[in-house]
Amino acid sequence: MKLYEKLAKDIEELIANGVFRPGERLPSIRQTSQHHRLSITTVVHAFLLLESKGVIESHPQSGYFVRVTPQTANGKVPQELRTSQPLAISSQVDVSHLVLSTLRSITNDAVPLGSPYPDPSLFPSEKINRYAYGITRRKTKWGVTDALPPGHPDLIRQIARRYLENGSAIDPNEIVVTVGATEAINLCLQAVGKAGDIVAVESPTFYAMLHAIERMGMRAIEVATHPRDGIDLAALAEILEQHQIAACMVMPNFQNPLGFQMPDEKKRALVELITKHQVPVIENDVYNELYFGDAHPTSLKSYDTEGLVLHCASFSKSLTSAYRIGWAMPGRYRDQVEKLKFLNTLTTPTIPQLAIAEYLEHDGYEHHLRHIRKVYAQQANIMRAAVKRFFPEGTQTSEPKGGYVLWVELPPQVDSMKLYELALQQGITIGPGYMFSAAKGYNNFIRLNYSYPWSTGIEDAIRTVGKLAADCIRQAERAVAARTRENYNI
């Protein structure tokens, strides 16, 4: 047996015996070299052998970690989250105050487990900024007309080409460029509904969808949603039969916060259902490029034959969050969305549009995406393993198929708002579950962001949140015991 093979065998045995647990970082190559008195080259060969066997995995700029699989996460397959239950129609939607206060708590000093934004260090910001600077230095002049709806033709052409590369031939004339996906969602909802209308949403759902409903003075009805494959079509069909629904709002790919990817057959069935009832569906597809599998996911848009799918996306989650460039493909509502875009914000800034267009044309967008997909997939496994390790017994997690957020169900004694406040006192942010429901449900759920590089700081924060959750359980049990004694004395 060669030296590197023996070292690999020894490390594999240590992992099998639990000395190094799933998700934990191994000693660095230099430390291993010094400890075993072997050359750097020998250690590198050993690590590469272990990586090829799927025992460990490399994390850029962080080192090597024990690979997490469903079988190695605490020695058992993680429990699956339960399907949510439908809720009554809300009298109003009011989540913006809670979301705003939560976002304000995300400062440079806080550990950003509760951040809705991806780690910006993974984005090619300098390259895009150089394109923007070069555009401003050119003698070519442009005016406000270059920023008018539907958007700059250079960017629209690149967006259409990107869809074609991913297997979807779309009509570039349908694209309306917006200030991020948030504006696209708001414009689409405004195009299909009015104040007082009822909108069907997933449960839980991304709070940006609830913001749009709140802004329009509409009401939400939450539909049971499975954590693995999405909205319950039977429950939605019943709702469509019983209520006058103005629109549905869904995230079929890597839904925030659950992270599922709706199967293709279910996407097709959903489009058939809304077509039968002639109800438009607003598709939020901002995470579609951040998949962990081998192939780009399909969209609801690809199954739409009657223009009822209003597809919204952006570059904010995959390329740059600083430039706020998104778009809508609103189907039969395209002209109305373009008109509303002009009435609401008039233009989308030209330089960000052109800078992104030039990057897409010249600078290897697909290479960048392959890198962040690998990083997110690795860090999702590490985060799940850490939650299983450090959080109280009975904790369950989602199984993200893409994106960068993890949905965590804590034991019912834990109130996520109280946990959020306790964590904030320790300089840690989390996303309380209340934000993801119009009815302020999911009181014992939190959302965690795993886009930031795994570090001792992140691990310590997860450990701290787990301890705080355990403290909440003990306090709740003591309170129950005290009430029981009081009742007995009475």
Torsion, CA 387, CA 22, CA 64, CA 14, rounded to 10: 150
On whether the CB atoms of residues 317 and 122 are closer than 8 A, the answer is no
Which residues in the chain come in under a pLDDT of 70?
A: 17-19, 69-80, 82, 85-88, 90-95, 98, 106-108, 139-144, 484-485, 487-490
Q: Which residues neighbour 251 within 8 Å (Cβ) at sequence distance 6 or greater?
A: 202, 205, 206, 209, 283, 284, 285, 286, 287
What is the model's pLDDT at position 142? 62
Question: Each residue of 335-371: pLDDT tens digit?
Answer: 999 999 999 999 999 999 999 999 999 988 999 999 9
CB contact at 8 A, 341 and 180 = no
pLDDT score for 85: 65
Residue type, 59: H
Sheet holding 431-432, edge to edge: 396-397, 405-409, 445-449, 431-432
Tell me phi and psi for residue 218, to 5 degrees. -95, 180
DSSP character at residue 444: T
Two tokens at 148?
């008018």
Residue 92: per-residue pLDDT: 66
Q: What is the pLDDT of residue 88?
A: 62
Question: Among 312, 296, 278, which residue's Cα sits nearest to residue 369?
Answer: 296
Residue 39 CA to residue 14 CA, distance in Å, equals 20
Q: What integer pLDDT is reported at residue 487 of this predicted model?
A: 64
What pLDDT, on the 0 to 100 scale, is given for residue 18? 62
Strands 56-59 and 63-66: antiparallel
**Domain 370-489, second-level architecture:** Alpha-Beta Complex (3.90)
Please tell me if the domain spanning 3-66 has the same topology as the one spanning 96-105+123-365: no
Nearest to 337 by CA among 316, 307, 357, 317: 307
Instruction: Measure the CA–CA gap between 308 and 331, rounded to whole angstroms.
Output: 6
H helices present in 193-333, as ranges? 207-215, 233-242, 264-277
Q: What is the mean pLDDT of the chain?
A: 89
Strands, DSSP E only, in 335-476? 396-397, 405-409, 431-432, 445-449
Map residue 267 onto helix, strand or coil. Answer: helix
CATH 3.40.50.720 matches 96-105+123-365: no
Give the model confidence (pLDDT) of 254-307 as tens digits.
999 999 999 999 999 999 999 999 999 999 999 999 999 989 999 999 999 999
Task: Enumerate the domain spans of the chain.
Answer: 3-66, 96-105+123-365, 370-489
CATH code, 3-66: 1.10.10.10
Q: SS3 for 448?
A: strand
Phi and psi dihedrals of 249, rounded to 5? -130, 120
Burial class for 313, CB neighbours closer than 10 Å (0-12, 13-18, 19+): buried
